[in-house]
Amino acid sequence: MPIDISGHILQGLEQRLKREIPFLVTAPLHGEYFEMPEMAYKLSDRPNVVLFLGANIGQQHPRSFLRAYDDRDGITAKCNLNLLARMNRELEANFELDKFEHYQNYDQGTAACKSYLVSLRDQTVNVARHQISFLQDESIFMEVSQNHTLKEAEELACSSRFKQINTFLDTKAWFANVVMESNLGH
């Protein structure tokens, strides 16, 4: 039961899994990670195991975490600008991508890295037949990449009626894949 907030990502994943592992039965869950484990309980009386991916779990230094999302190759910037390009294609928008610049901010208090696109000049953009005006230096909030501690991952498991059964760390202990299982005794 893959979980994601993007229905498009889930649809692509389901199609790929059907191609690569035809005998695998999937039930994608579209929604927030904190809500969907409860849905998994309702959909299956079989034992549940969760592999929690998609967030950084570890004790990274703020500068390292920020550099990962404000990288020299501009990968995060390209991903965020691609969202504007998709809006151009799919929502009849007319964003001029070169009129926006990627900006990254790390919030030490929440351990979150936040991405923005900043307008480089005053401009008006059409999106789905609506006009949106941007002032120079006005930003569009694009995403948040959350850093969690191993203790927070354990608390998430407990609050979702799972127990953490294994953790796989990288060599620097900056990232972890956490395996959880249902503690309801289905």
Q: According to DSSP H, which parts of the chain are helical?
A: 7-20, 36-43, 62-69, 75-90, 150-159
The predicted-structure confidence for 105-134, as pLDDT tens digits, reads as follows 888 888 788 999 999 999 999 998 899 999
What is the DSSP code string of 66-118? HHHHS-TT-HHHHHHHHHHHHHHHHS-----GGGEEEEEEEETTTTEEEEEEE
d(CA 168, CA 159): 21
The percentage of residues in the chain with a pLDDT greater than 70, rounded to a whole number, is 89
Average pLDDT in the 147-158 region? 81
pLDDT digits (tens, 9 = 90+) for 100-111: 999 998 888 887
**Domains delineated in the chain:** 3-60+148-182 (3.40.50.150), 62-146 (no CATH)
Q: What is the pLDDT of residue 48?
A: 67
Which pTM does this prediction carry?
A: 0.60
Q: Supply the pLDDT for residue 49.
A: 67
Residue 82: which pLDDT band, with cuts at 50, 70 and 90? very high
Q: Reduced to 3 states, what is the DSSP secondary structure of residue 4?
A: strand
pLDDT in tens, 26-46: 888 888 766 787 788 788 877
